[in-house]
Each structure stands twice: as structure tokens, then as C-alpha cells.
Structure 1
Amino acid sequence: MKTVYKVMSSVALAGMIVGGVAWSNVQAANQATSKTEVSQSAVKSAPEAARVTQNGITLEISNVIYDGNLLSMKLDRSGSGFEGGLNSGKLDEKTGYYVMNKGAISEIDVLINGKPIEQFSGKSISSRPSLGMAPGSNDNSCYIQLSDASQLGGNLAAFPDKFQATVSIHLEGIEKPYTMNIPVEKTTEKATVLQPNLTRTSGNFSMTLKKANLVSTSSRLQFVIKGWEQNRNILFDFVDDQGNKIERLGGRGTDENNSQGDYYFDYILGGLSKETKSITIKPFTPEFEKPNATSGAFKVDSNGDLIKHYVKELEMTLQVK
């Protein structure tokens, strides 16, 4: 086994992950959409599963969905000769390196119409698409998810409505990558696009909800924030009008794509039910384990939940119907 830090392309680590302890499970989107009567145009028949077998290990990509906000594809591993889960490994305490198990994912690379995603819409990390993974239903499955950088300020390219994604997956201990060509086509469901321009201010911190792009499988919100540098500990919860927490599927932010130095944040949430009338954004500051700390480990309660202090004057509600 070799030591690696990288569990995905470096682009996966490009964005600032905001709004919680970690990226939410993409599977939550599937659970959520199963409850929300997803539009039939959003679940058009996906391309046939793509699979490759090498050294007794088979990888298969299926359930490909691109709804204009998020590209999600399910990855399954089968066969023999691997150890542990798809993303499993352990920390070598002597070297400080994380060592991946044999057959675990060590890297993922993606091409969009033959072009590496690192070159898709700009040279800087903040202008590139994000690439990430989320757990599946068992140790031998996960979800690969991609989103473009079009909501991060500037004139950055969105994914085309139809394209070919070439996915190369490197497994620890296997010499050659597993490469699969995946035809991708945007679902035909018409998105609800809102431009609310809601602004809330607290001290030197100001946040504006500029845009919302809503489909039955996901919800995408664009924020422009001033004063982020002095208020980096402000995070966000999202709830519907029934008080249900809306799952986060991804989020990142940057100040590199505009001349004013504003921070643009792009949040991708789970799909809303047909009954949902509004989304409430609830900013909060987390409590840290060490008193008066501004960084480090977050403090949790007896249930393991993050201790939060909500900032009421920054709260805003977006009416979606």
C-alpha cells in the first residue's frame, strides 16, 4: 500500500466547504426525493450502467442524474481482492500519512467532453468545477458528484445541457485506472428560478441571497457576502416552512472572481417537497471546544450534535410559492 492524502482530484478540495461539519450525504437527496414526488422529467431513463473489471475487481457507474444544479452518479464495487470499504484506510501514526486499503479509491479524474475539469472554465481553483464523493448505502458504494462554478462570481461557464463525462477512478494497489465514458444529459424538468435579492446585516457582516434555482431533485442558492473575513465562523442551517431541515449536498465560496472582493457562496441543497412554501436560512456561530477559541474542534452536546448560537438578525426566508 502507498500513502496518499488525495481521495479525489485536487479540484475536489478546491472549494471552501461551508455551512456544517462536512458535505452532506448525496444519498440524502435520494431519500428526500423519494418523499417529494419527483417530477417525471427529472427521472428520465439514465444511460446503461458502465462497468470495468480489472484484477478481479469490478467498478460500475449507474443512476446518473444531472438536473442543472448537480451531477450525481452512483459507483459500486464488486469482486474480490480488496480490503475494507471503497474509501477506507487508516492513519499511520509514525508517518502521519493516511494509508488507503487495497482496492480503495485513491483518486478520481473527470473529463468534460475530453477536457479535464481543471481546464473547464478557468485557470484558478476558484473558477473550476468541484468534484466530491459521498457515502452510498454500503461500504462498496458511493456517489460521485460534480457542480460547476457558475455561481461563484464572474462570467464562469456552466456545464452544457448535454456532454460526455469521462471518469477515471484509481484504486489503491491496482496499476491501471478504471475509465468509463458516461453520456450526460440535463433532465427536462423546468427549473424555478428566483432572484430575491434579500439582504440581512449584523455589524460589519452583510449577506444577500441573490439567486435560487429549484428543481425537484435539488435546490441551489447563491449568496453574496461582505465582511466574511472578519466573520468566518458564521455558518448556516436551512429549514422549510414545516421546520424540516433541508439537507446540504454541497457548498463552497470564494472572493477571487469579482473585483469588489465580495465572497460568493454556492450552496446545493436537497429537493423540496411539493408542499414546501418557503426556505428559511438560519445563520449561526458554532461553539468551540476551547473557550474563546475562533478555530479548532467544534463543541457538541450529549447527542453529538453541534452546539449552535443563531444570529437572529441575519435570518431570512425565501418564498418559493
Structure 2
Amino acid sequence: MNPFDLDKELRETGRKLAAELPDMIRQRQDEVYASLSDLPMQTRTGRTHSSKKIRGYAGAAAAAAFIGVMSSAYVSPIMAESLKSIPVIGSIFKLADDLGLQTAEERGLVAEPNVGATHEGVTLRIPEVVYDGTRLSLAVKREGEGLIGGISDYEVVQEGDSTNHIYPRGAITEVEMFIDGTSIYDYNGGKRPGLIGNPTSDPNVVLYQLTGYSHLGEGAPMLPDQFLLTAKITLEGIEEPYIIDVPVRKSSNQIVVKSGETREWGGLKLTLEQLKFTPITTDLIIHAEQIGNPEDGNHKDLLYEVRDDRGRILGLVTGMGIYKDDSQREQRTELIFERFEETTSSITLKPFLPVFQDPSANGGLYAVDGNGDIVKKYLKDLEITIPVDRASLEKLYDSHQ
């Protein structure tokens, strides 16, 4: 699966939907808001966390225009095929190809709203959510009769110059999310959160993820600590869309580390600006600048690995990059990785250039090795290692709000 395609499809789908919030959503919000501030969050482990008052949230306009979104989302390339050996025990998040989500239940971070709707004998439920202040992950489960194929199945049909998607009955065709009544496509002046969806080994379950990136500066689409999420989902063959309200509250603390470590190589200058850790996520903000000729090194081709002090690679979950202006010589990128498997005393950022199948072409397909992994040219001069307070990280990983 091309990691850049899914968010593009969701974005194009969202543009087709009405800009105004449907009346049926507005009619239900007052009831949810009335009880939201006093609602306890019950987890599968039995822990109940008392609610804090809803925090006001208003995004100020960006001080400067950032132009040229490089990519809305990177999605982990290992999808449902590699998950077939994972047993479906306990939390649905055990189906995820994501260490943070797989361990969220045992850390007491998974809330169970178990809300849903039924149309024409087919039910959609959101049984579980987890939100760490950076990313919100929610499971969508389908139940009913007369369904054909999986909830995320579709067939791509090429007819001349046009490409059509053919969906079996009961498959998701459109998705739109609302934050406190505002569509994510209109959220915060258009600087919206990222939305991606991943299939699982269960054909009736899909995992969606809403990411509030923080690297855009003032007015960025950072999600509030507590809000009402409304999911509007359309299934093929079902006339009425499913509209499901989910109270969301941040369930974990975080550690923010400012860095500023800088490296140069050829015509590139790379700065690791910030790291943020939660019990399920590792978040990096990187600034890349073209200070020489592109022939000496081009930041547009840079990709990144993150490793712990034992050399183990973190799984990439998603990310976004933007150019500062039309010159496209400066780019800030925020990358969301999984949590560490174990606490670490350091974190290493390893930039690399992907090797293309046809090196003479401008871009094209990546070359892959015998395991299907991208062939990488590591740039040792741009590598950055910074220390991490292991004791603080261990305390964070074992804590919950």
C-alpha cells in the first residue's frame, strides 16, 4: 500500500461532504456536553479516572503562512497480512501493528464508550478509544447480516484515464470527523489534524487515527485535552450515514524534551528541535534546511529512522511535513513513532536517503531488499543522538492519569 494514498483519499472524500454540521449532530451535542465534564472514564482494567473540567480551546491564526504541504500522512507499510497470527484477545487494539496501542490496555489507557448506531440491520460501533494528547485512536466495528467482504475492502477499476473504486455492500465509502462540532476539514482555519485508517486482521474492524500535529506553530491543529468527537461514516448499500458521538479525554501524561542539536552534510542542515514521549507515542519535530546546491544533498528525499540505545528501530506511525515558503528550501517535519519497547538512555535519529529502482529517474519506485524493506543510504554526518532520562521515561510508561 502506498503510504501517502489513504489520507489523500480521505481528504478528497471530506471535500465532497457538506461544510455545515448536520442538524442531527447538533441536536445531540447539548446532551453530551451536559454530562461530559462529570463523566468517568472506565477502562477494561477496571480503573476509573475522574474527569477534569472541559478546557477552553481556541486556535489563534498562524503568524506566517506555511505553504506546500509535503505529505499529510505516512502509514506503516505492514498491514493486515502480517497481523493474522495475532490472537484476538482482550482489547481490539491488540489487532494493531503498533506497540503503543497493543500495550495501551495493560497500561489502563483504553476507554470503552461502546457507542454506535444501527441502520437497515447493520450496526457500527466504536467500542474502544485511546487518546494521549497527540493522537486519538478509535476502533470501528461492524456487525450485521448480508455483508460482502471486509469493512475496508474496495476494488480499484481503471477505465481509460479514470480510476473508480468499487465497494462491496457494508464497506466504508466516506468518513468525516468533527471536533466539538467542527469538521476536521474546516478545523482551525484549515490547519487540520491528520486522519488515517488501517485495516486489521478482523475483516469487520478498522482502526482510525486522528493526529493533532504541533509543529506548525501558533494556530496549529493541536487537539484539546477533552472534546466531543463525532464520527460520520457511510457504508456502501446503506442509505443513511452513521453518526456516532464519542466523549474523548486525554488519558496519559507526557514528557517534552527540547533539543536544538544540529548537523550538516553537503548542502543540508538538520536540526532535531523537540521530542515528546507518552506511554504510547514518540513524537519528533525536525527542521531541514537547504543551505547549498540540491546536487550536494536534497532534503526533499530525506527519510528518518529512530532507534533506542540498543539499536532497535521504532515503528513509524504517521507524520506531516511542510515547507516554510515557495522556495521549498526549509521544511519542518513532525513524525509520530511507536513507544519504545523498553525504556532507553538515549534516542538516535538516523536520516537516510532511499535508493530508487532506477537511480537515473527523478523519483520513482524505491528499491527493496529480499525482506521487502526499503534499501537505505544512511547519512552518518546527519545522525543525532541525545540522552534520555531513563527513570523519568520508565515512570511515564507505568503511569496513567
Q: What TM-score bracket applies, with the shorter chain setting the length?
A: 0.7 to 0.9
Amino acid at match of 1:16: S
Alignment root-mean-square deviation, CA:
3.0
1:28 pairs with one of 97, 102, 111: 97
Identity percentage of aligned residues: 30
Amino acid at match of 1:78: E
The structure whose RCO (Cα within 8 Å, separation 6+) is larger is: 1
User: In structure 1, what is the equivalent of residue 241 of structure 2?
Assistant: 177
Partners of 1:20 and 1:170 in 2: CA distance: 23
Check 1:121–1:206 CA distance in 2 against 1; reply closer, same or farther (3 A cut). same
Cα displacement string for residues 263-286 of structure 1 (whole angstroms, at most 9, x for unaligned residues): 111111111245322221111111
User: In structure 2, what is the equivalent of residue 64 of structure 1?
Assistant: 129
1:148 and 2:203 aligned: no
Amino acid at match of 2:273: K
User: In structure 2, what is the equivalent of residue 100 of structure 1?
Assistant: 167
Cα displacement string for residues 13-56 of structure 1 (whole angstroms, at most 9, x for unaligned residues): 97605778759888133x4565699654xx1x614211112122
The answer as to whether partners of 1:6 and 1:107 remain within 8 angstroms in 2 is no
User: In structure 2, what is the equivalent of residue 84 of structure 1?
Assistant: 149
TM-score, normalising length from structure 1? 0.85
1:55 pairs with one of 91, 102, 120: 120
1:204 and 2:267 aligned: yes
Partners of 2:328 and 2:374 in 1: CA distance: 33
1:158 pairs with one of 218, 222, 239: 222
User: In structure 2, what is the equivalent of residue 112 of structure 1?
Assistant: 179
User: In structure 2, what is the equivalent of residue 308 of structure 1?
Assistant: 376
Partners of 2:125 and 2:117 in 1: CA distance: 7
**SS of residue paired to 1:149:** coil
TM-score, normalising length from structure 2? 0.69
Q: CA deviation at 1:72?
A: 0.5
Cα displacement string for residues 218-239 of structure 1 (whole angstroms, at most 9, x for unaligned residues): 1111111112984322111122
User: In structure 1, what is the equivalent of residue 86 of structure 2?
Assistant: none
Amino acid at match of 1:303: N
1:280 pairs with one of 332, 348, 362: 348
User: In structure 2, what is the equivalent of residue 217 of structure 1?
Assistant: 280
1:249 and 2:249 aligned: no
**SS of residue paired to 1:169:** strand
Q: Which has the higher helix share?
A: 2
* Unaligned residue ranges in structure 1 (runs of 5+): none
Q: Which has the higher strand share?
A: 1
Q: CA deviation at 1:68?
A: 0.9
The answer as to whether partners of 2:193 and 2:221 remain within 8 angstroms in 1 is no
Aligned length: 309
Amino acid at match of 1:245: I
Cα displacement string for residues 135-185 of structure 1 (whole angstroms, at most 9, x for unaligned residues): 223221111101123222344242111100000011122221111000000
Check 1:204–1:107 CA distance in 2 against 1; reply closer, same or farther (3 A cut). same
1:32-43 equivalence runs, <5 A: 32=100, 34=102, 39-40=107-108, 43=109
The answer as to whether partners of 1:216 and 1:273 remain within 8 angstroms in 2 is no
Q: CA deviation at 1:117?
A: 1.2
User: In structure 2, what is the equivalent of residue 128 of structure 1?
Assistant: 192
Q: CA deviation at 1:203?
A: 1.6
Amino acid at match of 2:267: N
